[in-house]
Chain A
């Protein structure tokens, strides 16, 4: 028995340290560590701006690209910087329907982010629950779950997604489903690994001695302590989900033409690439790239901070 525990026993009158300020300072320390990398900070700021732009797209886009009344076919395929018939300047040009590329990209970003973040979050919930369960229960259940996880991890994402969409057809919900199926295993594997280590700790033993219901032990005690690796994976997986959605949409198997994401915008401009009208594909690609890179920069730095092996 350690000295600390002894002194606590001998002096029960001393109140335990109030957890709240401690948590806050831990958060602050975490933030300071995070902010130490300018690159990661830039990534976070850029992603924040992109997310805001996507959320408020209908209010900041100069034109509603899917309101046919606002489009003029006379303005189609104008190069960047060209002015329209009624004097409005298309800073990034227009596509084959005469849509302003800036507006189309803002709306596309909205769908890309919605699908990417939404499916990553759902995959996280599903994968975490399964991983926690496996790590906590153990035995043959764990063995079975982990074999399935291994199976899913051994096939490349694009292939599994392709398979699902080949059978279900395209559509936003199908893409979300495909991404969840592709991604959940990463969360399960990571959470189960941490859960295996954490469940040996005293606090779980204490919780079990108190005969707390398993659900409570799982979600209130075990899960919060498995969070660090989860945060890293979730960040990276959002970027992957966005990229995967764009790839599937580019192949024509992702979102339907009525809800064009950035990937579909790129696909639409693909045929004009060879004739030198690069802007229809190029700028949505740049937007996609900036989004993914900013998320990855944040995720990369988070991994460095939260990796226990690096905390020497």
Chain B
């Protein structure tokens, strides 16, 4: 187990390293930072001085080492637009995105699993067919368009819910959260549902497929033959066994929710990381782009690692396999 864990962590570090090279090369080779940073009116000497100041006259591998050592000290340069440290800027937007993603994940689980279970238990019923057709719609609908329609219906025509912003926030532990106020929750509902829709369909389909597969297993038949109540058979024997794939997928999906929040946040003007990165791409605020990408890579690698570990804890077969 320990060697397995060590090897997994090493792999994760390798990925972070590879991504940092990719991001670095993308920033410095494809786009020339000199063109962005130095005004076209600068004289030859000024240019040379700034290039030397930025360390851009050094060979690329040396520049990369500088970049890494700066990054390890938590410094990824200042944002061109806000003139604040880029990393701090991205981190300050993290809570907004995080609470949106977690809320969306909760919606996906709380709605998706019961519906999927129902569709799996009664695959031929009319309600199940409707649920399944709905789920095709759920992952066919482009997120951004659903968001627009939601704004159109619930914010413009019915006027029930606000269409943009975070609403009232409460400061807890130095971080501002929306989900603790009624107004904030109201603001969060539309974007969270919007973000959840795709994952909801996925959870639903996974649950249904898992349920159908599990129902034909011998241990379920045996549990039934023992005369256990249907509720117990489903709740204990079926649900427990379909949870492993669902938990894994959901762990990974939290990361993808954070990434997809880019779209939702733009539509609902939710001031999170996603909106920041889109705005930064428009104005080519490179330090912020780099900081965001490195953050996300780190987040993803960590999530993958945690899911892998959880997986091996939940499913002993994985552990045994890696040992042999």
Contacts and interface: CB of A to CB of B under 8 A. Distances in A.
Interface in A272-312: 273-274, 276, 278, 281-282, 285, 288-289, 292-293, 296-297, 300
B15 interface: yes
Nearest to A164: B26
Interface string A146-185: 0000010011101100110111100000000000000000
A157 B289 CA distance: 17
B140 A266 contact: no
A293 B140 CA distance: 6
Contacts of B136: 293, 296-297, 300
A243 interface: yes
B298 interface: no
Contacts of B163: 274
Interface of B: 15, 18, 23, 26-27, 30-31, 133, 136-137, 139-145, 148-149, 151-152, 155-157, 163, 252, 255-256, 259-260, 262-263, 266-267, 277-278, 281-282, 289, 293, 296, 300, 304
A252 B282 contact: yes
A225 interface: no
Contacts of B140: 239, 243, 289, 292-293, 296
B148 A266 contact: yes
A143 to B, nearest CB: 12
Contacts, number: 100
Contacts of A39: 133
A162 B260 contact: no
B31 A250 contact: no
A270 B281 contact: no
Interface of A: 39, 151, 154-156, 158-159, 162-163, 165-168, 239, 243, 246-247, 250-253, 263, 266, 270, 273-274, 276, 278, 281-282, 285, 288-289, 292-293, 296-297, 300
Given A163-B26, A293-B136, A282 B281 contact: no
Nearest to B266: A251
A300 B15 CA distance: 34
**3 A-B pairs with least C-beta separation:** A156-B256, A285-B145, A156-B259
Given A156-B260, A282-B152, A246 B142 contact: yes
Given A154-B300, A273-B151, A293-B140, 8 more contacts: A156-B260, A167-B31, A246-B144, A266-B144, A285-B148, A288-B145, A296-B136, A300-B136
Contacts of B137: 293
Of B23, B136, B137, chain A has the most CB atoms within 10 Å of the CB of B136
